[in-house]
Structure 1
Amino acid sequence: MTTIKDIAEKADVSISTVSRILNYDDTLAVTPETRQRVLEVAEELQYKKRPRKKHKTSTKVMIIQWHTMSEELSDLYYLQLQYGVENMANRLGIETEVITLDKIMKEKNVAAEGLVLIGKFDYTEFKLLKQFELPIVVVGQNALEFDLDSVHSDYETATKNIIDHYRRHHINDIGILIGEESTGQERQLLPDPRLQTYANYLRFLNLYHPEYIFKGAFTPESGFKLMNQAIAQLGDNLPHGFIVGSDTMAVGAIRALNQTNLAVPDRVNIISFNDVAIAKFTTPALSTIHSDTASIGEEAIKLLTERIHDPERPARLVAFATKLIKRESSV
């Protein structure tokens, strides 16, 4: 199991610096480059690198990241997905190159056999990317309507599982802190399946309270702001259980609770999403939904290689089950 010491040694910083960066301590004076290096090393060490094939294939795949690097480090899930794709490609001897969406849009020709898109894209972006006439797989979004292979996690079932978990522990007042995302070109606000499932399932259970919903961004700063908003607005009626849209949001939410002397989990339980590397090292450690990003990455490369050899087959959607990892932030 990866330790803070392992991360510190590989990133060439002190153990205390690693701990503060992983907890998104905004009072820590370090350069953006150091913060980026520590977060990337923490995620890299999550993966057991599979040995590369002795001989490379002639295949090259371009991985197109939806987020900029600064956005990626505030919501590490997409970086984790990238590592899953790269790891499988490495195993098969496939060369990879990571490029941002903005950069590839400026290219006239792309020297690759296929594209893996990581994130959320709109009609305009798909139309532009399909002009390269290359096989495409989308990771993190259902793109069947665009006739593209897609791989993602089943967040709907995961949301129900969190609600059921809370109810088994007699917690029936359940709030949610969720980020809002929009596509790049068309700036379309994307509906989050977790928020939709949360509302529908709690209505079914006669436990729905719209005042328990707080929306922002998938960042620690937003998690801090939203939890403070919930505390101020709800007072003694603050829910005893919260679903939080990402681990990084949860770090900010816990900081807000600590600053107002609301104990986690004795007064407020937190269960977040994605099980990125920081989840193990926060205080308290996060209970979180584990997305199998390694398997998602493997499936993305498998679908892409299939598509390269059989361009006429019907597009597929593959959804991976998740599981709740119980740690210290919840019952």
Structure 2
Amino acid sequence: MVSIKDVAKQAGVSISTVSNVLNGTKYVSENLVIKVNQAVKDLNYEVDPIARNLKTRQTKTIGVITIDMCGLFYPYVVKGMYEELNQKGYNLMICDLSGSKDSKSSMEREMDSFKNLVSNRVDGIIFASTVSGQREEGFARDILKMANRNKKIPLVSLEKDFSRYGIDSVFSDGIEGGKQAIRHLIDCGCKNVGHITGPIFSGEALERLEGYRLVLMECGMAVDMEQMVANGNYTHQSGYIAMNELLKKYPSIDGVFVANDQMAVGALKALAESGKRVPEDVKVIGYDNVFISGILQPPLSSIHVRKQSFGSEAARILLQRIEKPAGQDALALKMDTKLVVRKSTVADAVEDWILSDW
């Protein structure tokens, strides 16, 4: 078996020089880097990851906690992370909060996921959280304590802004996104606008609900939350059930803002079964602008979130923390959202097959 000593001998350099080239730990001149890499190639040498990790105290593994990897949103976020982290030689260990069928609450599964990743000595954790607003501070304190127990493990939050608790965060403005959706429906002539929310304990869902409420109030329109709002849980099944609920209790509804595109799939099915034409009778707008929104019939208007960029920006921030642990204060990176108009709200909207950030 080829060893690092063989590589050093072949390249005519010291073992420490080979180690520095392979691990990127110290500066090595370009000429020596070429010699070492050529020796590695000629000898077909492979680094022993276990031995390297023991020496550097790094596992070259990043932990990722997602809320629903089988949904339409997180695969693109994780893809963005992977593309950034893989370039630096990191692997991903994914814990999905919806992937367990046990009787534990989502918060219990979330804490179990953190414990699992910390015990595996990952080099950093990017996480999405289901914690409710009133419990955020205590939750942030607990995970920071856990992450700093044995070695300092940097954390980056997705979708929630934990920067005030000392945790780097990448998120979008759900209130503004909700406002964009409702303004569009009103601009399209809707007078009776309903809303299908995400899980009501979710901060992101509450932000989108608040955007809905604020625009209706600004426009002097009635806001009856009991009649005009139905709760979902981000699944297409819940969108179907919630849309049928709105049709019963709010029969004059002529527009609906659905808090994600996956629920909008179910909402469109319910409207079709009830004989309602989209957009002639009821206009529908979703949120996230995932790939399916462009191929539904009719294609779904949506609020675009830069999903891959969410993941890649979170990965870049995490890598900076790994390389320079004693850096600046916690970062709060707010990603912009934008309106994408399709035929579910405007019958003659131009087809747009924009594939770049699906």
Alignment TM-score > 0.5, same fold: yes
Equivalent position amino acid for 2:314 in 1: A
CA distances 1:60-92 after superposition (whole Å, capped 9, x unpaired)? 34233242xxx442x422333222222222244
**Structure of greater Rg:** 2
Separation in 2, partners of 1:268, 1:95: 46
Q: TM-score, normalising length from structure 1? A: 0.73
Separation in 2, partners of 1:107, 1:265: 47
**Equivalent in 127, 137, 147 of residue 156 of structure 2:** 137
Pairing 1:310-325 to 2, within 5 Å after superposition:
310-325=325-340
**Counterpart check, 1:281 vs 2:281:** no
**Counterpart check, 1:222 vs 2:222:** no
Separation in 2, partners of 1:234, 1:315: 45
CA distances 1:102-135 after superposition (whole Å, capped 9, x unpaired)? 3442466233221111243445554443213211
Pairing 1:69-88 to 2, within 5 Å after superposition:
71-73=68-70, 75-88=71-84
Aligned length: 266
Bigger relative contact order (CA 8 A; separation at least 6): 1
Give SS of 2:343's match. Answer: coil
**Counterpart check, 1:247 vs 2:261:** yes
Separation in 2, partners of 1:113, 1:64: 11
Q: Give 2:184's aligned residue.
A: 165
Q: Give 2:126's aligned residue.
A: 116
Q: Is the 8 A contact 2:66 2:95 kept in 1?
A: no
Q: Is the 8 A contact 2:157 2:169 kept in 1?
A: yes
CA distances 1:19-56 after superposition (whole Å, capped 9, x unpaired)? xxxxxxxxxxxxxxxxxxxxxxxxxxxxxxxxxxxx99
Give SS of 2:296's match. Answer: coil
Q: Is the 8 A contact 2:63 2:117 kept in 1?
A: no
Give SS of 1:217's match. Answer: coil
Separation in 2, partners of 1:267, 1:83: 38
Q: Give 2:166's aligned residue.
A: 147
Pairing 1:2-17 to 2, within 5 Å after superposition:
none
Q: Is the 8 A contact 2:256 2:283 kept in 1?
A: yes
Separation in 2, partners of 1:152, 1:108: 24
Pairing 1:178-257 to 2, within 5 Å after superposition:
178-182=197-201, 192-210=206-224, 211-235=227-251, 237-238=252-253, 240-257=254-271
Structure 2: where are the runs of 5+ without partners? Answer: 1-46, 53-57, 97-109, 347-358
**Counterpart check, 1:330 vs 2:349:** no
Choose 98-107 or 213-222, whichever is displaced more.
98-107
Question: Structure 1 residues 103, 320: closer, same or farther in 2, change over 3 A?
Answer: closer
**Counterpart check, 1:302 vs 2:302:** no
Question: Structure 1 residues 119, 93: closer, same or farther in 2, change over 3 A?
Answer: same
Separation in 2, partners of 1:91, 1:280: 31
Question: Structure 1 residues 84, 171: closer, same or farther in 2, change over 3 A?
Answer: same
Equivalent position amino acid for 1:161 in 2: Q
Runs of 4+ in 1 over 4 A off after TM superposition: 55-59, 122-125
How many angstroms does 1:191 deviate by? 6.0
